[in-house]
C-alpha cells in the first residue's frame, strides 16, 4: 500500500513548492490536493464532517496551479486532485489543464473528481444540484474524449461540442487514472460506469467494506481504491490494507512551512515503522 499526503494548500500555510519537495524527499508516494473555488457567504449546506466549516476551506489555491508547481520541483510522486469539483468546471478547460499537468510532470497526474457537497458553491457556477450527477457523468466522458480522440466531439444533454482539436494530450495512455469521490449508491454506479477508482474519505472500516463489496459485485472485479484524509493511525492503515486499498493519503493540517515539515518528518517515521 502506497502512502501519500493529502492537504488543503492555502495562502497562509506552507507554499506548494516547499510542500511538494518535502513530501518527495521523505519518501511519500503522492500529493493529493483538495479544491474549493470559493465559499458563498450565504452558505446553508451543512459541513459533512459536522461543526463549523474550517478556515482552510475559504483560502484554498487552485489545485491545477498547485500541482503544476509541485510537478516542476519533483520527479517521482503522483499528483492527485482530491477531488476536483468537475460539476463546477468547464470540461474543455479542465481537460487542457489536467493534460498540461500530466505533460509537465512526465505522466504523474491522477484525476480525482466528484460532485461536491456545497450546494451554494455549485449554484454560483450555474449548476443545478438536482442534475449534478448527470452533469458530472457527461463531463467525465467529455474530458476522456478530449484526452483520447483527435478531433474529439461530445453531444450530451449538458455538454455539447463539435469536432475539436485539443492539445496537449496526456502523457499517460490511454489517459491518466480517474478516481471518483463520494459515498452513495449513485457513486458506486458512477465508478462502475466510468471504469474508475474510488477515492474515499476516512470512513470507518466497516462502512468502507460495505461500499467496496458493492463495487466489486457491480464491476465484477477489484476496483482501484484510494483515500483522502487518512488519519495517522497504524491500526486503521492495517484495516485499509486488508480491504485492498492501493494508496492512502495522510491528512496534513494546513500549517506554516516549518510546522508542516516537522509533521511530515513525524509521519514518515511512523510509516517506516509500520512498513517494518
The count of domains in the chain is 1
DSSP state of 60: B
What local confidence, expressed as pLDDT, does residue 119 receive?
94
pLDDT digits (tens, 9 = 90+) for 120-157: 999 999 999 999 999 999 999 999 999 999 999 999 99
Distance (Å, whole) CA 17 – CA 209: 36
What local confidence, expressed as pLDDT, does residue 172 receive?
98
pLDDT at 49 over 80: no
What local confidence, expressed as pLDDT, does residue 42 receive?
84
Distance (Å, whole) CA 222 – CA 243: 11
| Mean pLDDT on 184-193 | 97
Could you tell me the three cell numbers for 45? 449546506
Closest CA to 175 of 144, 141, 138, 136: 144
Distance (Å, whole) CA 191 – CA 225: 11
Instruction: Please list, in sequence order, all residues whose beta carbon lies within 8 angstroms of the beta carbon of residue 11, skipping any fewer than 6 positions away.
Output: 59, 61
What local confidence, expressed as pLDDT, does residue 18 receive?
98
Structural domain boundaries, residue 70 = 2-275
What local confidence, expressed as pLDDT, does residue 90 receive?
98
pLDDT digits (tens, 9 = 90+) for 4-36: 999 999 999 999 999 999 999 999 999 999 999
| Mean pLDDT on 39-65 | 89
Could you tell me the three cell numbers for 105? 510532470
pLDDT at 218 over 80: yes
| Mean pLDDT on 204-221 | 97
Could you tell me the three cell numbers for 195? 471504469
What local confidence, expressed as pLDDT, does residue 46 receive?
82
- Going from the C-alpha of 244 to that of each of 47, 73, 115, 248, the distances in angstroms are 29, 31, 25, 11
3-state helix, strand, coil in the chain (%, to 5): 45, 20, 40
Percentage of the chain exceeding pLDDT 90: 95
CATH number of 50's domain = 3.20.20.30
Angle between helices 205-219 and 185-193 (to 10 degrees): 40
Task: Output the pTM of the full model.
Answer: 0.96
Beta bridge partners of 157: none
Query: Is residue 36 helix, strand or coil?
Result: coil
Least confident of 49-58, 149-158, 190-199: 49-58
Amino acid at each position: 500500500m502506497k502512502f501519500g499526503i493529502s492537504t488543503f494548500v492555502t495562502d497562509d500555510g506552507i507554499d506548494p513548492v516547499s510542500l511538494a519537495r518535502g513530501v518527495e524527499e521523505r519518501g511519500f508516494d503522492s500529493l493529493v490536493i483538495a479544491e474549493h473555488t470559493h465559499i458563498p457567504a450565504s452558505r446553508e449546506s451543512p459541513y459533512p464532517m459536522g461543526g463549523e466549516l474550517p478556515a482552510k476551506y475559504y483560502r484554498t489555491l487552485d489545485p491545477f496551479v498547485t500541482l503544476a508547481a509541485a510537478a516542476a520541483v519533483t520527479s517521482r510522486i503522483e499528483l492527485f486532485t482530491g477531488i476536483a469539483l468537475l460539476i463546477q468546471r468547464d470540461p474543455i478547460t479542465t481537460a487542457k489543464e489536467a493534460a498540461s499537468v500530466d505533460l509537465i510532470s512526465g505522466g504523474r497526474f491522477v484525476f480525482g473528481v466528484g460532485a461536491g457537497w456545497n450546494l451554494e458553491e455549485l449554484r454560483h457556477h450555474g449548476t443545478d444540484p438536482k442534475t449534478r450527477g448527470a452533469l458530472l457523468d457527461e463531463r467525465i466522458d467529455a474530458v476522456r474524449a478530449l484526452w483520447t480522440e483527435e478531433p474529439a466531439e461530445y453531444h450530451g444533454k449538458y455538454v455539447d461540442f463539435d469536432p475539436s482539436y485539443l492539445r496537449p494530450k496526456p502523457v499517460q495512455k490511454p489517459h491518466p487514472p480517474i478516481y471518483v469521490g463520494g459515498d452513495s449508491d449513485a457513486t458506486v454506479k458512477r465508478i462502475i460506469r466510468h471504469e474508475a477508482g474510488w477515492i474515499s474519505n476516512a470512513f470507518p472500516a466497516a462502512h468502507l467494506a460495505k461500499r467496496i463489496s458493492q463495487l466489486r459485485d457491480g464491476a465484477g472485479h477489484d476496483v482501484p481504491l484510494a483515500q483522502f484524509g487518512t488519519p495517522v493511525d497504524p491500526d486503521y492503515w492495517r484495516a485499509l490494507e486488508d480491504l485492498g486499498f492501493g494508496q492512502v493519503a495522510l491528512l496534513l493540517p494546513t500549517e506554516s512551512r516549518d510546522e508542516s515539515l516537522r509533521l511530515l518528518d513525524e509521519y514518515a517515521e511512523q510509516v517506516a515503522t509500520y512498513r517494518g
